[in-house]
Structure 1
Amino acid sequence: MTAVPTTRLDIMAAETAADPWPLLRELQAQGPVVWHEVYKRWLVTTDREVRAVVSDFQRFTLEGTSSAALFGDDAFISIDDRKRHDALRLVWAEAFRLQGLEAIRADVETIAAGLLDPAAQRLRDGEPVEVVGALCRPLPTLVIARMMGVPQDMLPDVIRWSDEMAGGGPAYLADAAARAAVARREAAKADLATYLGELLKARRAAPADDLVSTLAASEAASDLPDDQLVQNLRQLLFAGNETTAKWLAHLFVTYAEDGGVRREIAADRSLIRAANDEVMRWQGVVGTLVRRVRGGPVELAGIELADGDEVTCVLAAANRDPQRFADPDRFDIHRPPQPNLGFGVGLHFCLGINLAKLEAEIAVGGLLDRVPGFRVAGPYTYSSLPLRGPQPVSLVVA
Structure 2
Amino acid sequence: MEEQTKAVALADVLADTGAMDALRERGPIHRVLMPTGTPAWLVVGHEEAVAALSDTRLSVAAMMEAGVLDGGKLTTDQRNALLKGLTNVDPPDHRRLRRLVSGVFTARRIEAMRPWISQLTDELIAAFADKGRVELMAEFATPLPVLVICELLGIPEASRDRFRAWSRAVLSGLGTPDFPVDAAVEFTAYLRGLIAEKRECPDDGLLSAMIQARDEGDALSEDELTAMATVMIIAGHDTTLSLIGNGIYLLMIEPDRAEKLRADPGLIPAAIEEFLRLESPVPVANIRAALSPVDIGGAHVEPGELVIIGLQAANRDKAEFAAPDRFDMARAPGHQLAFGYGIHYCLGAPLARLEGELAIGTLLRRFPDLRLAVPAAELTWSRALFVHRLNELPLAFG
TM-score above 0.5: yes
Determine the structure 2 residue equivalent to 1:312: 308
Aligned positions of 1:187-198 closer than 5 A:
187-198=182-193
Q: Find the aligned partners of 2:125 and 2:353 in 1 and give their Cα distance.
A: 17
1:131 and 1:394 in contact (8 A); partners too: yes
Match of residue 85, structure 1, among 71, 90, 94: 94
Letter in 2 for 1:337: P
1:169 Cα deviation after fit: 2.5
Question: What secondary structure does 1:241 align onto?
Answer: helix
Identity %: 28
The reply to whether residue 260 of structure 1 matches residue 240 of structure 2 is no
1:94 Cα deviation after fit: 4.5
Determine the structure 1 residue equivalent to 2:74: none
1:35 Cα deviation after fit: 2.3
Distance 1:67 1:40, change over 3 A: closer
The reply to whether residue 329 of structure 1 matches residue 325 of structure 2 is yes
Q: Find the aligned partners of 1:12 and 1:112 in 2 and give their Cα distance.
A: 33
Determine the structure 2 residue equivalent to 1:303: 299
Determine the structure 2 residue equivalent to 1:106: 115
Determine the structure 1 residue equivalent to 2:339: 343
Determine the structure 2 residue equivalent to 1:22: 18
Match of residue 86, structure 2, among 47, 62, 76: 76
Determine the structure 2 residue equivalent to 1:367: 363
Question: What secondary structure does 1:122 align onto?
Answer: coil
1:115 Cα deviation after fit: 0.5
1:5 Cα deviation after fit: 2.7
Match of residue 151, structure 1, among 151, 156, 170: 156
2:198 and 2:207 in contact (8 A); partners too: yes
1:62 and 1:291 in contact (8 A); partners too: no
Question: What secondary structure does 1:289 align onto?
Answer: coil
2:104 and 2:213 in contact (8 A); partners too: no
Q: Find the aligned partners of 1:109 and 1:116 in 2 and give their Cα distance.
A: 11
Match of residue 195, structure 2, among 171, 190, 200: 200
Letter in 1 for 2:362: G
Letter in 2 for 1:211: L
Distance 1:109 1:329, change over 3 A: same
Determine the structure 1 residue equivalent to 2:395: 395
1:237 Cα deviation after fit: 1.2
Distance 1:97 1:389, change over 3 A: same
Q: Find the aligned partners of 1:319 and 1:234 in 2 and give their Cα distance.
A: 27
Determine the structure 2 residue equivalent to 1:386: 386
Deviations 1:152-209, CA, capped at 9 Å, x for gaps: 22121111111101110235xxxxxx2xx21x2x222211212211111111111110
Q: Find the aligned partners of 1:286 and 1:316 in 2 and give their Cα distance.
A: 7
Match of residue 211, structure 2, among 184, 194, 216: 216
Unaligned runs of 5+ in 1: 172-177
Determine the structure 2 residue equivalent to 1:42: 41
Aligned positions of 1:135-284 closer than 5 A:
135-171=140-176, 178=177, 181-182=178-179, 184=180, 186-219=181-214, 223-284=219-280
Deviations 1:210-238, CA, capped at 9 Å, x for gaps: 11111111226965542332111111111
CA RMSD of aligned residues (A): 2.3
Unaligned runs of 5+ in 2: 71-78
2:282 and 2:312 in contact (8 A); partners too: yes
1:290 Cα deviation after fit: 4.2
1:7 Cα deviation after fit: 3.3
1:91 and 1:214 in contact (8 A); partners too: no
2:105 and 2:206 in contact (8 A); partners too: no
Distance 1:372 1:90, change over 3 A: farther
2:10 and 2:32 in contact (8 A); partners too: no
Q: Find the aligned partners of 1:40 and 1:298 in 2 and give their Cα distance.
A: 16
Q: Find the aligned partners of 2:99 and 2:143 in 1 and give their Cα distance.
A: 27
Q: Find the aligned partners of 2:220 and 2:137 in 1 and give their Cα distance.
A: 38
Letter in 2 for 1:200: I
Distance 1:224 1:86, change over 3 A: same
Distance 1:9 1:84, change over 3 A: closer
Deviations 1:306-357, CA, capped at 9 Å, x for gaps: 1111111122211100110001112222212242010111111001000000
Q: Find the aligned partners of 1:27 and 1:386 in 2 and give their Cα distance.
A: 19
Letter in 1 for 2:208: S
Letter in 1 for 2:172: G
Determine the structure 2 residue equivalent to 1:175: none
Pairs aligned (count): 379
Find runs of 4+ consecutive structure 1 residues off by over 6 angstroms. Answer: none
Q: Find the aligned partners of 1:391 and 1:3 in 2 and give their Cα distance.
A: 36
Determine the structure 1 residue equivalent to 2:76: none
Distance 1:369 1:73, change over 3 A: closer
Deviating more after overlay: 319-328 vs 52-61? 52-61
